[in-house]
Amino acid sequence: MPGRRALTKTRTQAGSRGGGCLLRAFAIVLGLSLMAGGSALFLWPSFTAWQSQREMTKSIDSVLVREADSPEEAFRSKDGDPAYEYLARYNRNVAEGNGGAINDPFGIGTDEIELSEVGLEDAIVGSVTIPSMNVQLPVYLGATSAHMELGAAVISGTSAPLGGASSNCVLAAHRGERYGVPMFRDIESVQVGDLVIMETPWDVLVYRAAELKVISPSDAKSISVQPGRDLVTLFSCHPYGANYQRYLVICERDLEAERAYLQNADMRSEVAGATSPLSILTSDVKRVTEPCDSFELRAERVLRVVGLALFVVSLLVVVRVAVKAFPHHKDSEPQHERPQHATHFRS
């Protein structure tokens, strides 16, 4: 009967719509779950790194108090400064071979009362910025366990970061995240020619990577002073996830780049931008194609890009399903058939 057939058709359409709604709801939930997984693998680590980097920057700013926009106009005077004189004496002893054994457990940085008396509170002496690693870390005197949890640390028996001929400031940092900051995790990303910027209350010192080297933990000669050279050496465990070797990036002072950095606000902004969230994200993607000796690090980088892909794909799925589930108002209005008017033709 017509009435019964119409009722059956209506119920079938209603069931079809109900099944479609369930499928769309399932697709949205699945898409959101994939987005959460992608965020956990890719976005969340980068976000926490940026947040923790901001906290480290506060520690750095407490030491590098600048009173002018131009760095060279804002340095603290070296003349009569007890902290500078203390470190300069120490550097002379290191250059003459009297700075104590390298990584001496009782060397510089271990007596924080003495450092505080000369104005080096909390043993912080400045910062190191490494654009190719997307990090800016506070620099502590003495590579103690406590200091290396918080940033980069000057290995005792090597030079303090004052620059000058016959000096080698060796900065050690963990090869992995501490409080969300990758520290020297990506030390293999630094290539010959890349910039490393040291800042202290008295100077900005600009170095360029000159040599990459893998050594044994007992090789103290490779991190000692080289007569006549002004060096900063980045030092960390190798390979990633292990500690049976050490990876070095030996950097030499570049006075021309230093002058350009001090005089060019755009260059300083570019260096500062290396630790922005966008720079960290894009660098994480680019590093997938970089050569790397560490299998664990390669796997971690691939997982992060997989996380990005999951996030993007799931976002597209959610948007597409949502558009279909909630069509534009005009499209959702019922279409009423217009009455057909007879047209009469005269013969």
Give 152-162 pLDDT, tens digit per residue.
999 999 999 99
In which band, very low, low, confident or very high, does the pLDDT at 95 lie, cut at 50, 70 and 90? very high
Q: 210-220 b/e with 16+ CB inside 10 Å = b? A: beeeebeeeee
Portion of the chain with pLDDT greater than 90, in percent: 41
Residue 192 covered by a domain: yes
For the chain, count helices (H), then strands (E).
10, 8
Our CA angle for 81, 82, 88, nearest 5°, is: 90
Residue 9 covered by a domain: no
Q: Lowest-confidence range among 75-89, 180-194, 305-319, 325-339?
A: 325-339
Residue 43 covered by a domain: no
- Cis status of the peptide bond prior to 339, with omega within 30 of 0: no
Given this model, what pLDDT does residue 7 score?
45
| Euclidean distance between CA atoms 181 and 152, whole angstroms | 11
Residue 133 has pLDDT above 60, yes or no: yes
Residue 308 covered by a domain: no
Residue 321 covered by a domain: no
Q: What is the pLDDT of residues 48-87, one digit of tens each?
A: 666 666 777 777 776 776 555 555 567 889 999 999 999 9
Residue 284 covered by a domain: yes
- Span 250-279, average pLDDT: 93
Residue 103 has pLDDT above 70, yes or no: yes
3-state SS assignment for residue 321: helix
CATH, residue 145: 2.40.260.10
Given this model, what pLDDT does residue 345 score?
45
Give me the domain span that covers residue 75. Answer: 62-292
Given this model, what pLDDT does residue 302 score?
77
Number of CB atoms found within 10 A of residue 255's CB: 11
| Euclidean distance between CA atoms 139 and 129, whole angstroms | 10
Residue 337 covered by a domain: no
Identity of the residue numbered 157: G
- Span 169-194, average pLDDT: 89
Residue 208 covered by a domain: yes
Given this model, what pLDDT does residue 129 score?
96
Residue 210 has pLDDT above 90, yes or no: yes
Contact 224, 98 (CB under 8 A): no
How many structural domains does the chain have? 1
Contact 160, 131 (CB under 8 A): no
